[in-house]
Amino acid sequence: MIGEIFALFAAVLWSLHILFIRKGHNKNALSANPIDPMIGLFITILVNNVINFFVLSFRNLVFDPVSMETMGVIAIVITGVSNSFVGRGLLFVCVAILGAAKTGLTRATMPVFVLLGGVLVLGERFSPQTWIGMGIVFFGLFMVSYDTVRRDNKNRAESAGYDAQGDIAIAERRAERLHLMKGVAIGLGASMLMGSGSILRKAGVDLLGDTILAVSIDSFSALLACVTVLLIRGKGREMIRAIRHIQFNYMMAGVFSSAGLYTMVFSLSLIPVAITNSITATEPLFTIIFVWLIKEGKKEKLGWQTFVFGVVMVIGTIILITSGS
């Protein structure tokens, strides 16, 4: 029972992570001196590293430090750069375009890319249940995207004084669709990196034999990559200014992402992987609920259809995760 509770907490914490990224974007847009969005990413990764430092230090005080396997370190460094830096960077962009709720829904496709990675790397085969789960997930994502475009077109028509079924400028509708599809594509890209990269991360963790050390190396690699890119872009002073005047929402996004990761690790140590993943798959629903609770639903163009198809995607995700169990 405790393992299931930890898994549920992980889902809640990760949804709060996405929500605070959205709040950080909103506050940044209203600021007189807005910061570069990548600075927001830098803040969250920096917070991850600070938390990991204290967790790793405490672990080393209580237990003997573990030796580092070279191949394991290389695997974790690669996932740190690709997943925790590039993947999360795409997630930041996706939140800015789609909002927190729909970004959470795109993350429901992560198990699809995990399975595809298993096929390409490990030569695994799909069962009929796996195909059904994939179909349900992408059907739900398509319907959420379609409903968003339909709802936005309706709002544009009404605000312009037209009947909801009347003609709307084709160019505007096409631009809105392209903008939405861009957000969905970026969200899928983030899910692909985070999902497929988890295979390499698992290999690295197995080689190192220490989850906390692996998480610390992962986050530190992401931090180095982020700092390098920002310095190349001439954002060194802006980084220092961001540390001195840290943006609360981005900081909390880092806190919740770290907390979500560690609660999932605790869950995996107590119950089977399939059960943990099935419970954490409810993350998109918690994101939608939190968005409504802070009264952001109208801004993100959410309706009851979003919730319904969100449930459909979660069901598809659970079918996917349990297809191999």
The more confident residue out of 98 and 233 is 233
DSSP state letter for 65: P
Between helices 88-98 and 2-30, what is the axis angle to 10°?
60
- What's the structural domain count of the chain? 1
Chain segment 198-207, per-residue pLDDT in tens: 667 777 777 8
pLDDT by residue (tens digit) across 150-185?
Answer: 655 555 555 554 444 444 455 566 666 676 778 778
Q: What does the pLDDT look like over 241-255, one tens digit per residue?
A: 889 888 899 999 999
| Domain span including residue 25 | 2-322
Which amino acid is present at 164?
Answer: A
Type and span of the H or E element at 219: helix 211-232
Q: Name residue 69's amino acid.
A: E
Of residues 183, 179, 215, the one with CA closest to residue 77: 215
Q: Predicted confidence band at 127 (pLDDT cuts at 50, 70, 90)?
A: confident
Question: What is the average pLDDT across 46-52?
Answer: 94
Cα–Cα distance measured from residue 223 to residue 258, given in angstroms and rounded to the nearest whole number: 14
